[in-house]
Amino acid sequence: MRVAAIIAAGGRGERLGAGVPKQLLPVGGVSILARSVEIFAGHGLVDEIVVVLPAELAADPPAGLHAGAKPLRVIAGGARRQDSVRRGFEAVAGRADLVVIHDAARPFASLSLVTRVIEAAEESGAALAAVAASDTVKLAREDAAGGAVVERTLPRARIHLAQTPQAFRTEVLAAAIEAGRGIEATDEAALAEAAGFPVRLVPGEASNMKITTMTDLTTADAVAGGPGARVGAGYDLHRLVEGRPLVLGGVTIPFDRGLAGHSDADVAAHAVTDAVLGAIAGGDIGRHFPDADPRWKGASSLAMLAHAAGVARDAGFEVVNVDVVIVAERPKIAPYADAIRAGLAGALGIAVARVSVKGKTNEGLDAVGRGEAMAAHAVALVSPRG
C-alpha cells in the first residue's frame, strides 16, 4: 500500500502576529509547519509528502522543511481549504493507494494516531480522528435582540469533535472531491459523508490541539518543552592527512587535506551520532557500525547518523535539537556552517532550526592546534514521542 500525506497549510489571512503566516510561527523554536511535516517524515507507513501552501509562499517555500529520504513537494493551494486539498490530491492521485490529510495547524498529532487513522481508512475507506465531547453541547439561535439563546441541548454521547489526520482510500477521496464540487466543506470527511461513504471515527487526542489563537500558541509553546527529555554527549577526533577529501556534515569542503579513517571520516556526523545514541543510552558508534561489518563498508557517515536517529525513534524518542562544536585550526568553519547544519538535519529527519553548528580553533595548542587533527563535540536532546 502506497500512502501519500497532504499537509494542508494553504490558509491565508489568519495571522496571529507580526505579519507572519500562522503556519510559520515557531512553537518551541520550530515552526508549526515544520513540526507537522516531521510527523509524516518520521512515520513508517507514509511514502511521500505534499505540502500545500498559499501561492505566494509556495513560490518561495520556507527553509527547513525536511522529509528525510522521502519525496516532499510544495504546491500552491486554492481559494478554500477544499480547493487546496484537491490540488494536493491531484499531485499524488496517480501513485497513492491511500491519502492521509493533516492540518498544519495541528503540530502535536502522535505517530500512533496517524497509524490508527490510516489503518481504519484502509479497512473502511474513510476515517478521521475525533474526540468525544466532554462539555455539554448547546445548539444556539439568534434572539430578537441579536444575542444568542439556546435552542436545545444536543445528546452529548453522540457528539464528536473532528480533528485531523483524516485518511481515505484514493478512490473514495476522488469520488468525494468530485461529488463535493458544489458544496462548502471545512474538512474532507464532510465531502465523503455527503457522497454517501461511511466514515469511521478513530479516537483522537486532546493533545492534538489546533493552534488558532495567541493563547493556543502560548499553550503549544509550553507543551513543546514538555517533560521526559534526555541529553547525550558525543566526541570524535580524526587525523588530517594528504590525499583525502574533507567531509563535515556530509559537505565536502575545499581544503588541502582531509580526515583519515574508515568511511568518509566525517568527524561532525560521528560526534552527533554518538550524542544521539548516548541520549537513549544506546551504546556508541563502534557498537552500531563495527569496522568489520560489510553492511556499513563505504557507507556515508550521514547514512549512519540517519540509522542512529532511527534507533532512537524505535526506542520511542525523537531528536529535539543538536548542538555541535567543530574544533579545527583551519579551514574556517563559519562559511560552511549552514550547509553542515542542513546535511545533519536531513540525516536526522528534523528541521534545520533544530541543528546548530559552530566552529572553534584550538589557539595553536596541541595536535588540533598544530593542524594535525580535527575534533568535534556534540550534544543532542531527545524527548519521548507521542
CB of 27 to Mg ion, least distance (A): 34
CB of 238 to Mg ion, least distance (A): 6
Whole-angstrom CA distances from 281 to 14, 73, 314 are 43, 35, 13
Instruction: Tell me which stretch binds Mg ion (CB under 5 A): 64-72, 228-236, 334-342, 365-373.
Output: 228-236
Name the residue nearer to Mg ion (CB basis): 270 or 354: 270
Alpha helices in 52-130 (DSSP H): 55-58, 81-92, 111-124
Q: What SS3 class is residue 329?
A: coil
Name the residue nearer to Mg ion (CB basis): 179 or 237: 237
Name the residue nearer to Mg ion (CB basis): 173 or 333: 333
Query: x/- binding map, residues 185-224, to Mg ion, per CB under 5 A?
Result: ----------------------------------------
377 binds Mg ion (CB under 5 A): no
195 in Cβ contact with 180 (< 8 Å): yes
Residue type, 350: I
CA–CA separation, 72 vs 21, rounded Å? 21
CB of 174 to Mg ion, least distance (A): 50
Name which position in 47, 103, 188, 236 contacts Mg ion (CB under 5 A).
236
187 in Cβ contact with 166 (< 8 Å): yes
CB of 68 to Mg ion, least distance (A): 22
Cell of 348: 536526522
Whole-angstrom CA distances from 110 to 69, 206, 275 are 20, 11, 24
Cell of 256: 588541502
Name which position in 22, 35, 106, 270 contacts Mg ion (CB under 5 A).
270
Name the residue nearer to Mg ion (CB basis): 164 or 263: 263
How many residues touch Mg ion (CB under 5 A)? 2
CB of 54 to Mg ion, least distance (A): 44
Whole-angstrom CA distances from 23 to 9, 33, 84 are 7, 5, 15
CB of 295 to Mg ion, least distance (A): 17
Cell 519525496 -> residue: 71
Where along the sequence are the contacts to Mg ion (CB under 5 A)?
236, 270
